[in-house]
């Protein structure tokens, strides 16, 4: 789901017929997208949380007052053993509203509810948390976007060794799709690339021994084939880097060991449907 948010705003801008597009008034105005993905690792904001995973998702969109109201569910279902963070099945429920303020700029706001269905019952705060977000995307070259997230009740550990709640995350991303149809005899092939850079700042106002902030970055590359305007498939590789300062519990469960710096390389494949 984390990868879909920036894309959502761009799609929302393209999907309206102008700043004053009318609110949809029939079921035909409802859009539905779904995907079934496999990832050899589940990496969230530079941190590896699980190994081989199945990631199905479903999303609904509806035009409202010139923008797009959307809601969806994204899941990570591990195929093999538990990952280093001790998480198991993850279910993310999200909703938001994307509004194009100009032909090139779309504002987006919403929230994500993270639920870890199999998290230890003795750590109820870590079993779920809510993360509101706001962002902007730009319909220009490289489709840049910037988002700000603030996780409520996500546990972190400050530089004094005390548990805090709440992490502010700022993430910027770019992407580009190379049309390969002129190089192959079959229409519908493209190579999609993307890059992102983010910074996380845990609630650490009492820190005296340094900060527990973290940085992460990554790049992706996917070969995409569109069977039709409604069905597509992709396969590709990803790389991410994570680094932190001080001692930080930036994991989604709070009971995991200190993460430490890490580099991750993995692959993924998916089939997507749009209605």
Average pLDDT over residues 37-42: 96
SS3 content of the chain, % helix, strand, coil (to 5): 5, 55, 35
What are the φ/ψ torsions at residue 28 (nearest 5 degrees)?
-65, -20
Per-residue pLDDT at 210: 43
Evaluate if residue 24 carries a pLDDT over 90: no
Per-residue pLDDT at 82: 65
Q: Counting Cβ atoms within 10 Å, is residue 18 exposed (0-12), middle (13-18) or buried (19+)?
A: exposed
Strands 145-157 and 53-64: unpaired
Looking at per-residue pLDDT, the higher value among 245 and 179 belongs to 179
Tell me which DSSP letter residue 126 carries.
G
Per-residue pLDDT at 261: 86
Domain boundaries, the chain: 4-274
Q: Tell me the torsion sign for CA atoms 243, 246, 87, 152.
A: negative
pLDDT category of residue 116 using cuts at 50, 70 and 90: confident
**Alpha carbons 210 and 201: distance in angstroms, whole number:** 12
Evaluate if residue 11 carries a pLDDT over 90: no
Contacts of residue 179, defined as CB under 8 A and 6 or more positions apart, other chains included, come to 189, 190
pLDDT category of residue 259 using cuts at 50, 70 and 90: low
Nearest to 143 by CA among 33, 237, 7: 7
Mean pLDDT of the chain: 81
Tell the residue number behind the tokens 């991410």, with chain if given. Answer: 240
Q: How does pLDDT run across 150-193, given as a tens digit for each residue?
A: 998 765 544 444 455 688 999 999 999 999 988 888 899 999 99
Evaluate if residue 124 carries a pLDDT over 50: no
Evaluate if residue 109 carries a pLDDT over 90: yes
Range in 84-88, 120-124, 231-235 the model is least confident about: 120-124
Tell me which DSSP letter residue 2 carries.
T
CATH entry 3.40.50.720 includes domain 4-274:
no
Max mean pLDDT range (31-45, 158-172, 235-249): 31-45
């Amino acid at each position: 789901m984390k990868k879909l948010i920036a894309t959502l705003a761009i799609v929302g801008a393209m999907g309206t017929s102008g700043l004053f597009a009318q609110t949809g008034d029939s079921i035909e105005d409802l859009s539905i997208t779904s995907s079934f993905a496999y990832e050899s690792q589940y990496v969230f904001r530079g941190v590896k949380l699980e190994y081989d995973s199945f990631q199905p998702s479903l999303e609904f969109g509806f035009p409202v007052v010139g923008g797009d109201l959307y809601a969806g569910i994204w899941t990570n279902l591990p195929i093999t053993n538990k990952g280093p963070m001790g998480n198991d099945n993850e279910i993310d429920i999200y909703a938001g509203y994307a509004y194009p303020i100009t032909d090139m700029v779309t504002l987006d706001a919403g929230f994500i509810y993270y639920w870890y269905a199999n998290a230890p019952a003795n750590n109820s705060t870590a079993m779920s948390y809510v993360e509101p977000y706001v962002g902007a995307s730009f319909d220009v070259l490289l489709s840049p976007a910037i988002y700000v997230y603030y996780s409520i009740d996500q546990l972190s550990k400050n530089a004094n060794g005390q548990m805090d709640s709440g992490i502010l995350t700022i993430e910027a991303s770019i992407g580009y799709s190379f049309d390969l149809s002129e190089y192959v005899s079959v229409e519908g092939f493209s190579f999609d690339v993307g890059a992102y850079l983010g910074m996380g700042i845990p609630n650490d106002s009492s820190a005296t021994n340094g900060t527990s902030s973290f940085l992460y970055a990554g790049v992706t590359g996917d070969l995409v084939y569109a069977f039709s305007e409604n069905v597509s498939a992709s396969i590709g590789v990803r790389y991410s880097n994570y680094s932190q300062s001080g001692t930080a519990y930036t994991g989604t469960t709070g009971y995991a060991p200190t993460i430490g710096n890490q580099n991750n390389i993995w692959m993924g494949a998916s089939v997507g449907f749009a209605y």
